[in-house]
């Protein structure tokens, strides 16, 4: 098989179903060798299955190469074994796609500590741990004088970068992933590694309860952007977050300083009543959950 990532070795986490499955299959169609990582758990993170093996069978039926990996990406040592598994089987690693995640939605007044911890662990720690071990692998290669042309693509969400009620745990984790993406991009650029993130919208097991009538974008439509970001053509793109739904792609613009005032000294709290409301009135409103800023047509 040939394509824009021909010969590259890719790890895709959470790749047994939904968006991750779409990634794995498109990478294979485009010539990559794929490590299909997944525990095969339910949406809430419980249980297990051999769903990843079915994806590997699909890839092999396409004429591609792939292996199953069942490591828990939120386990630090397990994440190290995941990176090593790719190197042991295919001789190298070029791309890491952090996609694994779970949901335990609850309004804040009812959320338990366990529901908070489980989601933060899988999403945020489960992004950090593979990223950290992959970064160390590529840094070692770079320091040894080898040319590195590697990619990391993380998965954030509109719930994190724009906000969505009922998903405080999920949104906090996803906002953290967006922030980690920007920081990692700055740290790893010197080693030949780009780091970007996507905020996808599609109908999957994780979103079907949010889509009345079971309608929504095809999860397979997310993969083309991820595969392109993993290619040699994307070497100049790093530290960015992309919204992607079906055929629509946009760049998510992060926090930046808006209207401000400098007194030149320490404020008295009593003075701020005449200052802060005026600044907020001048500032753009927070984006809606779909990323649009109210009152702006563009």
Catalytic machinery residues: 157, 170, 174
Contact partners, residue 154, CB within 8 Å, separation at least 6: 98, 127, 131, 177, 178, 180, 181, 195, 196, 197, 198
Contact, 45 vs 15, CB < 8 A?
Answer: no
The beta strand positions in the chain, using DSSP E, are: 9-13, 33-37, 65-69, 95-97, 150-155, 193-200, 241-245, 248-252
Contact partners, residue 205, CB within 8 Å, separation at least 6: 17, 18, 43
Chain centroid to Cα 90, Å, comes to 24
With tokens 């790890």, the residue in question is: 11
């Amino acid at each position: 098989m040939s394509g824009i990532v021909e010969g590259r070795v890719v790890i895709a986490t959470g790749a047994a179903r939904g968006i991750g499955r779409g990634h794995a299959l498109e990478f294979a169609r485009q010539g990559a060798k794929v490590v299909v990582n997944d525990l095969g758990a339910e949406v809430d993170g419980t249980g297990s299955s051999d769903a990843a093996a079915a994806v590997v069978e699909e890839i092999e039926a396409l004429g591609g190469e792939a292996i199953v990996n069942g490591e828990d990406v939120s386990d630090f040592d397990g994440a190290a074994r995941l990176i090593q598994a790719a190197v042991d089987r295919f001789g190298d690693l070029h791309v890491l796609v952090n996609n694994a995640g779970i949901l335990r939605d609850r309004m804040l007044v009812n959320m338990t500590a366990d529901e908070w911890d489980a989601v933060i662990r899988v999403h945020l720690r489960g992004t950090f741990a593979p990223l950290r071990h992959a970064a160390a692998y590529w840094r070692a290669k770079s320091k040894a004088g080898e040319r590195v042309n590697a990619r990391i693509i993380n998965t954030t969400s509109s719930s994190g970068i724009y906000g969505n009620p009922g998903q405080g745990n999920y949104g906090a984790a996803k906002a953290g992933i967006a922030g980690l993406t920007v920081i990692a991009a700055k740290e790893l650029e010197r080693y030949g590694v780009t780091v970007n993130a996507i905020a996808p919208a599609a109908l999957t097991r994780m979103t079907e309860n949010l889509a009345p009538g079971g309608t929504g974008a095809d999860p397979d439509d997310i993969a083309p952007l991820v595969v392109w970001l993993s290619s040699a053509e994307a070497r100049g793109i790093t530290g960015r977050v992309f919204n992607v739904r079906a055929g629509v792609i946009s760049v998510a613009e992060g926090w930046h300083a808006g209207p401000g005032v400098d007194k030149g000294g320490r404020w008295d709290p009593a003075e701020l009543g005449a200052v802060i409301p005026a600044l907020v009135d001048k500032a753009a409103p927070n984006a809606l959950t779909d990323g649009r800023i109210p009152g702006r047509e563009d």
